[in-house]
Protein backbone atom coordinates (compact mmCIF):
# COMPACT_ATOMS: atom_id res chain seq x y z
CA UNK A 1 0.00 0.00 0.00
CA UNK A 2 2.79 2.42 0.90
CA UNK A 3 4.57 1.77 -2.41
CA UNK A 4 1.35 2.34 -4.37
CA UNK A 5 0.66 5.63 -2.50
CA UNK A 6 4.18 6.91 -3.23
CA UNK A 7 3.77 6.06 -6.92
CA UNK A 8 0.48 7.98 -7.14
CA UNK A 9 2.04 11.07 -5.48
CA UNK A 10 4.98 10.96 -7.90
CA UNK A 11 2.65 10.82 -10.93
CA UNK A 12 0.63 13.80 -9.73
CA UNK A 13 3.79 15.84 -9.05
CA UNK A 14 5.16 15.05 -12.51
CA UNK A 15 1.98 16.03 -14.41
CA UNK A 16 2.40 19.28 -16.42
CA UNK A 17 0.53 22.28 -15.03
CA UNK A 18 -0.21 25.41 -17.05
CA UNK A 19 -0.35 28.42 -14.76
CA UNK A 20 -2.84 30.98 -15.82
CA UNK A 21 -1.62 34.44 -14.93
CA UNK A 22 -3.76 37.53 -15.41
CA UNK A 23 -2.13 39.99 -17.82
CA UNK A 24 -1.70 43.53 -16.53
CA UNK A 25 -2.81 46.54 -18.61
CA UNK A 26 -1.96 50.15 -17.68
CA UNK A 27 -4.71 52.72 -18.32
CA UNK A 28 -3.57 56.37 -18.19
CA UNK A 29 -6.48 58.53 -16.93
CA UNK A 30 -5.93 62.27 -17.40
CA UNK A 31 -9.34 63.54 -16.25
CA UNK A 32 -11.37 63.01 -13.11
CA UNK A 33 -14.57 60.95 -13.52
CA UNK A 34 -13.68 60.27 -17.15
CA UNK A 35 -16.52 58.25 -18.79
CA UNK A 36 -14.26 57.43 -21.76
CA UNK A 37 -11.70 55.79 -19.46
CA UNK A 38 -14.43 53.94 -17.55
CA UNK A 39 -15.77 52.44 -20.78
CA UNK A 40 -12.34 51.16 -21.73
CA UNK A 41 -11.73 49.83 -18.18
CA UNK A 42 -15.04 47.92 -18.28
CA UNK A 43 -14.29 46.35 -21.67
CA UNK A 44 -10.81 45.23 -20.56
CA UNK A 45 -12.04 43.89 -17.23
CA UNK A 46 -14.65 41.84 -19.08
CA UNK A 47 -11.78 40.09 -20.88
CA UNK A 48 -10.24 39.07 -17.54
CA UNK A 49 -7.35 41.54 -17.82
CA UNK A 50 -5.88 43.16 -14.70
CA UNK A 51 -6.42 46.90 -15.32
CA UNK A 52 -4.18 49.32 -13.38
CA UNK A 53 -5.13 53.01 -13.58
CA UNK A 54 -2.49 55.76 -13.56
CA UNK A 55 -4.41 58.94 -12.68
CA UNK A 56 -2.23 61.76 -13.96
CA UNK A 57 -4.93 64.32 -13.14
CA UNK A 58 -4.44 63.41 -9.47
CA UNK A 59 -0.65 62.99 -9.38
CA UNK A 60 0.20 65.81 -11.81
CA UNK A 61 2.75 63.50 -13.46
CA UNK A 62 3.25 64.10 -17.20
CA UNK A 63 3.47 60.91 -19.26
CA UNK A 64 5.86 61.63 -22.11
CA UNK A 65 6.48 58.00 -23.13
CA UNK A 66 3.63 55.52 -22.97
CA UNK A 67 5.91 52.50 -23.36
CA UNK A 68 8.16 53.69 -20.52
CA UNK A 69 5.10 54.07 -18.28
CA UNK A 70 3.93 50.58 -19.24
CA UNK A 71 7.31 49.02 -18.48
CA UNK A 72 7.52 50.77 -15.11
CA UNK A 73 4.22 49.13 -14.12
CA UNK A 74 5.30 45.73 -15.57
CA UNK A 75 2.30 45.96 -17.87
CA UNK A 76 1.79 43.90 -21.00
CA UNK A 77 0.04 46.87 -22.62
CA UNK A 78 -0.63 50.55 -21.92
CA UNK A 79 -3.45 52.80 -23.13
CA UNK A 80 -4.07 56.55 -22.98
CA UNK A 81 -6.62 58.89 -24.47
CA UNK A 82 -5.47 61.27 -27.22
CA UNK A 83 -5.50 64.95 -26.30
CA UNK A 84 -8.08 65.54 -29.06
CA UNK A 85 -10.40 63.02 -27.28
CA UNK A 86 -11.03 61.33 -30.64
CA UNK A 87 -9.51 58.00 -29.67
CA UNK A 88 -6.70 56.25 -27.86
CA UNK A 89 -3.03 55.35 -28.25
CA UNK A 90 -2.21 51.70 -27.53
CA UNK A 91 1.27 50.33 -26.71
CA UNK A 92 1.98 46.63 -26.31
CA UNK A 93 5.10 44.82 -25.10
CA UNK A 94 6.74 41.60 -26.18
CA UNK A 95 6.11 39.41 -23.14
CA UNK A 96 9.47 37.56 -22.90
CA UNK A 97 11.65 40.64 -23.54
CA UNK A 98 9.44 43.60 -22.56
CA UNK A 99 10.41 45.43 -25.75
CA UNK A 100 7.92 47.42 -27.81
CA UNK A 101 5.84 45.09 -29.94
CA UNK A 102 3.00 47.31 -31.19
CA UNK A 103 2.04 50.97 -31.16
CA UNK A 104 -1.28 51.92 -32.71
CA UNK A 105 -3.88 54.70 -32.74
CA UNK A 106 -7.56 53.78 -32.65
CA UNK A 107 -9.45 56.90 -33.70
CA UNK A 108 -13.03 57.69 -34.71
CA UNK A 109 -13.55 60.98 -36.56
CA UNK A 110 -17.29 60.75 -37.13
CA UNK A 111 -18.91 64.07 -38.18
CA UNK A 112 -20.97 64.20 -34.97
CA UNK A 113 -17.99 63.44 -32.75
CA UNK A 114 -16.21 60.21 -31.81
CA UNK A 115 -18.22 57.15 -30.79
CA UNK A 116 -16.46 56.47 -27.49
CA UNK A 117 -18.17 53.12 -27.01
CA UNK A 118 -16.94 51.94 -30.41
CA UNK A 119 -13.37 53.06 -29.65
CA UNK A 120 -13.46 51.24 -26.28
CA UNK A 121 -14.81 48.06 -27.88
CA UNK A 122 -12.15 48.10 -30.63
CA UNK A 123 -9.41 48.72 -28.06
CA UNK A 124 -10.53 45.67 -26.10
CA UNK A 125 -10.76 43.63 -29.31
CA UNK A 126 -7.20 44.60 -30.26
CA UNK A 127 -5.86 43.42 -26.88
CA UNK A 128 -7.97 40.26 -26.98
CA UNK A 129 -6.65 39.18 -30.37
CA UNK A 130 -3.07 40.24 -29.59
CA UNK A 131 -2.36 39.68 -25.89
CA UNK A 132 -4.78 36.87 -25.16
CA UNK A 133 -4.07 35.01 -28.38
CA UNK A 134 -0.38 34.86 -27.32
CA UNK A 135 -1.35 33.47 -23.92
CA UNK A 136 -3.71 30.95 -25.56
CA UNK A 137 -0.96 29.85 -27.93
CA UNK A 138 1.41 29.18 -25.00
CA UNK A 139 -1.28 27.20 -23.18
CA UNK A 140 -1.95 25.16 -26.32
CA UNK A 141 1.79 24.43 -26.71
CA UNK A 142 1.98 23.18 -23.14
CA UNK A 143 -1.17 21.10 -23.60
CA UNK A 144 0.29 19.34 -26.65
CA UNK A 145 2.97 17.83 -24.39
CA UNK A 146 0.27 16.14 -22.33
CA UNK A 147 -1.00 12.70 -23.21
CA UNK A 148 -4.49 14.01 -23.95
CA UNK A 149 -5.19 15.30 -27.47
CA UNK A 150 -4.62 19.01 -27.79
CA UNK A 151 -7.71 21.17 -28.10
CA UNK A 152 -8.00 22.94 -31.43
CA UNK A 153 -7.27 26.64 -31.01
CA UNK A 154 -10.13 29.05 -31.45
CA UNK A 155 -10.23 31.18 -34.57
CA UNK A 156 -9.28 34.74 -33.74
CA UNK A 157 -11.90 37.36 -34.56
CA UNK A 158 -10.41 40.06 -36.82
CA UNK A 159 -10.00 43.47 -35.26
CA UNK A 160 -12.21 46.11 -36.79
CA UNK A 161 -10.07 49.18 -36.44
CA UNK A 162 -11.39 52.71 -36.69
CA UNK A 163 -8.49 54.07 -38.69
CA UNK A 164 -7.92 57.81 -38.73
CA UNK A 165 -10.02 59.40 -41.43
CA UNK A 166 -8.15 61.05 -44.25
CA UNK A 167 -8.14 64.80 -44.68
CA UNK A 168 -11.33 66.38 -46.04
CA UNK A 169 -10.86 66.83 -49.82
CA UNK A 170 -12.66 70.18 -50.14
CA UNK A 171 -12.05 73.40 -48.26
CA UNK A 172 -13.26 77.01 -48.39
CA UNK A 173 -11.48 79.83 -46.56
CA UNK A 174 -12.72 83.35 -45.94
CA UNK A 175 -10.09 85.78 -44.67
CA UNK A 176 -10.11 89.44 -43.62
CA UNK A 177 -7.02 91.58 -43.24
CA UNK A 178 -4.65 94.15 -44.74
CA UNK A 179 -2.51 94.17 -47.89
CA UNK A 180 0.17 96.67 -48.78
CA UNK A 181 3.18 97.27 -50.94
CA UNK A 182 6.04 98.99 -49.08
CA UNK A 183 6.83 101.35 -51.98
CA UNK A 184 3.28 102.55 -52.58
CA UNK A 185 1.83 104.19 -49.50
CA UNK A 186 -0.18 102.73 -46.66
CA UNK A 187 -2.16 99.48 -46.39
CA UNK A 188 -5.59 98.71 -47.74
CA UNK A 189 -8.15 96.39 -46.15
CA UNK A 190 -8.93 93.28 -48.20
CA UNK A 191 -11.13 90.20 -48.15
CA UNK A 192 -9.51 86.97 -49.40
CA UNK A 193 -11.45 83.90 -50.53
CA UNK A 194 -9.97 80.49 -51.36
CA UNK A 195 -11.48 77.30 -52.75
CA UNK A 196 -9.26 74.24 -52.24
CA UNK A 197 -9.43 70.66 -53.52
CA UNK A 198 -7.03 67.87 -52.56
CA UNK A 199 -5.79 65.95 -55.61
CA UNK A 200 -3.17 63.45 -54.41
CA UNK A 201 -2.66 62.68 -50.71
CA UNK A 202 -2.33 66.04 -48.96
CA UNK A 203 -1.46 68.01 -52.10
CA UNK A 204 -4.11 69.95 -54.01
CA UNK A 205 -5.05 72.97 -56.11
CA UNK A 206 -6.53 76.22 -54.81
CA UNK A 207 -8.31 79.12 -56.48
CA UNK A 208 -7.58 82.40 -54.69
CA UNK A 209 -9.27 85.77 -54.98
CA UNK A 210 -8.84 89.04 -53.08
CA UNK A 211 -10.98 92.17 -53.31
CA UNK A 212 -10.45 95.60 -51.70
CA UNK A 213 -12.65 96.81 -48.85
CA UNK A 214 -10.80 100.13 -48.47
CA UNK A 215 -8.10 102.05 -50.30
CA UNK A 216 -4.49 102.87 -49.55
CA UNK A 217 -3.08 106.35 -50.13
CA UNK A 218 0.04 107.65 -51.89
CA UNK A 219 0.90 111.32 -51.20
CA UNK A 220 3.32 113.48 -53.15
CA UNK A 221 4.00 117.20 -53.77
CA UNK A 222 1.70 117.13 -56.79
CA UNK A 223 -1.26 115.60 -54.94
CA UNK A 224 -2.45 112.27 -53.62
CA UNK A 225 -3.85 109.05 -55.04
CA UNK A 226 -6.13 106.40 -53.63
CA UNK A 227 -4.83 102.93 -54.45
CA UNK A 228 -6.74 99.65 -54.42
CA UNK A 229 -5.88 96.24 -55.82
CA UNK A 230 -7.75 93.06 -56.76
CA UNK A 231 -6.11 89.66 -57.17
CA UNK A 232 -7.09 86.40 -58.84
CA UNK A 233 -4.76 83.41 -58.74
CA UNK A 234 -4.25 79.65 -58.79
CA UNK A 235 -1.91 77.85 -56.39
CA UNK A 236 -0.54 74.43 -55.52
CA UNK A 237 -0.92 73.72 -51.79
CA UNK A 238 -0.30 71.09 -49.14
CA UNK A 239 -2.30 70.75 -45.91
CA UNK A 240 -0.78 69.34 -42.72
CA UNK A 241 -2.78 68.20 -39.68
CA UNK A 242 -1.51 66.85 -36.35
CA UNK A 243 -2.92 63.44 -35.35
CA UNK A 244 -2.94 64.09 -31.59
CA UNK A 245 -3.53 67.85 -31.43
CA UNK A 246 -6.27 69.98 -33.02
CA UNK A 247 -3.86 72.13 -35.05
CA UNK A 248 -3.23 72.46 -38.77
CA UNK A 249 -1.07 74.29 -41.31
CA UNK A 250 -1.39 74.98 -45.04
CA UNK A 251 1.38 76.08 -47.41
CA UNK A 252 0.76 77.25 -51.00
CA UNK A 253 2.63 78.80 -53.94
CA UNK A 254 1.04 80.14 -57.09
CA UNK A 255 0.66 82.73 -59.78
CA UNK A 256 -1.85 85.56 -60.03
CA UNK A 257 -3.13 88.45 -62.11
CA UNK A 258 -3.44 91.74 -60.19
CA UNK A 259 -5.39 94.83 -61.17
CA UNK A 260 -4.31 98.08 -59.50
CA UNK A 261 -6.49 101.23 -59.68
CA UNK A 262 -5.27 104.73 -58.79
CA UNK A 263 -7.69 107.63 -58.36
CA UNK A 264 -5.82 110.93 -57.99
CA UNK A 265 -6.52 114.31 -56.35
CA UNK A 266 -4.15 116.90 -57.82
CA UNK A 267 -2.74 120.00 -56.22
CA UNK A 268 -3.00 123.31 -58.13
CA UNK A 269 -2.24 123.79 -60.97
CA UNK A 270 -2.18 120.05 -61.79
CA UNK A 271 -5.20 118.21 -63.12
CA UNK A 272 -6.50 115.14 -61.31
CA UNK A 273 -6.60 111.82 -63.17
CA UNK A 274 -7.42 108.17 -62.67
CA UNK A 275 -5.56 105.17 -64.04
CA UNK A 276 -5.48 101.38 -63.77
CA UNK A 277 -3.05 98.65 -64.74
CA UNK A 278 -2.97 94.85 -64.82
CA UNK A 279 0.17 92.85 -64.07
CA UNK A 280 1.22 89.27 -63.36
CA UNK A 281 2.57 88.23 -59.97
CA UNK A 282 3.91 85.23 -58.07
CA UNK A 283 2.97 84.67 -54.44
CA UNK A 284 3.21 82.30 -51.50
CA UNK A 285 0.83 81.99 -48.57
CA UNK A 286 0.79 80.07 -45.33
CA UNK A 287 -2.00 79.32 -42.84
CA UNK A 288 -1.74 78.07 -39.27
CA UNK A 289 -4.45 77.61 -36.67
CA UNK A 290 -6.57 75.20 -34.65
CA UNK A 291 -9.55 72.97 -35.40
CA UNK A 292 -12.66 73.80 -33.41
CA UNK A 293 -14.48 70.76 -34.89
CA UNK A 294 -13.81 68.16 -37.59
CA UNK A 295 -14.94 70.64 -40.25
CA UNK A 296 -14.37 74.14 -38.79
CA UNK A 297 -10.97 75.76 -38.26
CA UNK A 298 -9.71 79.22 -37.31
CA UNK A 299 -6.26 80.60 -38.02
CA UNK A 300 -3.96 83.27 -39.41
CA UNK A 301 -2.75 83.70 -42.99
CA UNK A 302 0.39 85.42 -44.26
CA UNK A 303 0.90 86.28 -47.94
CA UNK A 304 4.08 87.44 -49.67
CA UNK A 305 4.37 88.10 -53.39
CA UNK A 306 6.07 90.07 -56.11
CA UNK A 307 4.94 91.61 -59.40
CA UNK A 308 8.20 91.73 -61.41
CA UNK A 309 7.22 94.80 -63.46
CA UNK A 310 5.28 96.51 -60.69
CA UNK A 311 2.62 99.16 -61.21
CA UNK A 312 4.01 102.71 -61.11
CA UNK A 313 2.04 105.59 -59.62
CA UNK A 314 2.95 108.94 -61.27
CA UNK A 315 2.06 112.55 -60.44
CA UNK A 316 2.59 114.97 -63.36
CA UNK A 317 5.10 112.59 -64.91
CA UNK A 318 6.96 112.04 -61.63
CA UNK A 319 7.08 108.59 -60.08
CA UNK A 320 5.47 108.68 -56.62
CA UNK A 321 5.40 104.96 -55.90
CA UNK A 322 5.55 101.42 -57.30
CA UNK A 323 2.92 98.88 -56.25
CA UNK A 324 3.85 95.24 -56.21
CA UNK A 325 7.62 95.06 -55.74
CA UNK A 326 6.92 93.38 -53.35
CA UNK A 327 3.46 93.11 -51.75
CA UNK A 328 2.60 91.64 -48.32
CA UNK A 329 -0.64 90.75 -46.52
CA UNK A 330 -1.89 89.37 -43.23
CA UNK A 331 -5.34 87.90 -42.59
CA UNK A 332 -7.55 86.24 -40.00
CA UNK A 333 -8.97 83.05 -41.58
CA UNK A 334 -12.07 80.91 -41.13
CA UNK A 335 -11.65 77.51 -42.80
CA UNK A 336 -14.54 75.14 -43.56
CA UNK A 337 -13.64 71.63 -44.80
CA UNK A 338 -15.79 68.78 -46.05
* pLDDT per residue as tens digits for the range 55-103: 888 888 888 888 888 888 888 899 998 888 888 998 888 766 667 778 8
Assign residue 329 the CATH number of its domain: 2.40.160.20
Domain boundary among 144, 179, 201: 144
Does some domain include residue 298? yes
Q: Are residues 221 and 138 in the same domain?
A: no
CATH classification at residue 58: 3.40.50.800
Do residues 176 and 316 share a domain? yes
pLDDT at 64 (0 to 100): 81
**Least confident range of 9-18, 112-121, 173-182, 188-197:** 9-18
Q: Encode pLDDT of 98-135 as tens digits.
A: 677 788 888 988 888 888 888 888 988 888 888 776 55
What range does the domain containing 223 cover?
170-337
190 & 241 share domain: yes
**Nearest C-alpha neighbor of 264 from the set 318, 319, 317, 227:** 227
176 shares a domain with 137: no
For 132, phi then psi, to 5°, come to -70, -30
Q: Is residue 200 a part of any domain in this protein? A: yes
Q: Can you give the three-state secondary structure of the chain, one letter per residue? A: CHHHHHHHHHHHHHCCCCCCCCCEEEEEECCCCCHHHHHHHHHHHHCCCEEEEEEHHHHCCCCCCHHHHHHHCCCCEEEEECCCCCEEEEEEECCCCCCEEEEEEEECCCCCCCCHHHHHHHHHHHHHHHHHHHHHHHHHHHHHCCCCCCCCCCCCCCCCCCCCCCCCCEEEEEEEEEEECCCCCCCEEEEEEEEEEEEECCEEEEEEEEEECCCEEEEECCEEEEEEEEEEEEEEEEEEECCCCCEEEEEEEEEEEEEEEEEEEECCCCCCCEEEEEEEEEEEEEEEEEECCCCEEEEEEEEEEECCCCEEEEECCEEEEEECCCEEEEEEEEEEEC
How would residue 274 be classed by pLDDT, with cut points 50, 70 and 90? low
Judge whether 292 lies within some domain: yes
Greater confidence (20 vs 238) lies with: 238
**187 and 92 share one domain:** no
**182 and 139 within one domain:** no
Other CB atoms closer than 10 Å to residue 187's CB: what's the count?
17
Work out how many domains the chain is built from and give that number. 2
pLDDT at 316: 56
Q: Is pLDDT of 237 > 80?
A: yes
**Residue that terminates a domain, selected from 144, 160, 189:** 144
Residue 10 lies in a domain: no
Q: Report if residue 11 sits inside a domain.
A: no
Confirm whether 4 is domain-assigned: no
- What pLDDT digit, counting tens, does each position of 126-177 carry? 888 887 765 555 555 555 556 555 555 555 445 555 545 566 789 999 999 9
**Other CB atoms within 10 A of residue 183 CB:** 18
Both 25 and 77 in one domain: the answer is yes
In a shared domain, residues 121 and 216: no
Band (pLDDT 50/70/90 cuts) for residue 270 is very low
For residues 128 and 189, state if they share a domain.
Answer: no
Same domain, 136 and 204: no
Q: Which of 6-10, 41-45, 113-117, 222-226 has the lowest mean pLDDT?
A: 6-10
Among 122, 69, 72, 77, which Cα is nearest to 95's?
Answer: 77
Residues 338 and 297: beta-carbon distance below 8 Å: no
pLDDT at 179: 92
178 and 316 co-located in one domain:
yes
The reply to whether 316 falls in a domain is yes
95 domain-assigned: yes
pTM, rounded to two decimals: 0.50
| 205 and 301 share one domain | yes
The answer on pLDDT for 2 being more than 60 is: no
Beta carbons within 8 Å of 85's beta carbon, 6+ residues apart: 36, 114
Amino acid sequence: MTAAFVAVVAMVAAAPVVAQQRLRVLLVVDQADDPFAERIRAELAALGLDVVALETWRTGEAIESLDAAGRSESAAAAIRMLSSRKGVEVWMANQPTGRSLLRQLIVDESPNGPNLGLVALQTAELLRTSLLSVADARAATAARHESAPAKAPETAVPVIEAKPAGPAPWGVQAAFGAMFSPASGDAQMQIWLSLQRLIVGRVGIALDGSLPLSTGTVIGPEGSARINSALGGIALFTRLEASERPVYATLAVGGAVIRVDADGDASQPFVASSDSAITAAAYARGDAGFAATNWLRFGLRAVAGVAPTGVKVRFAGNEAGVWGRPFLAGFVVTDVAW
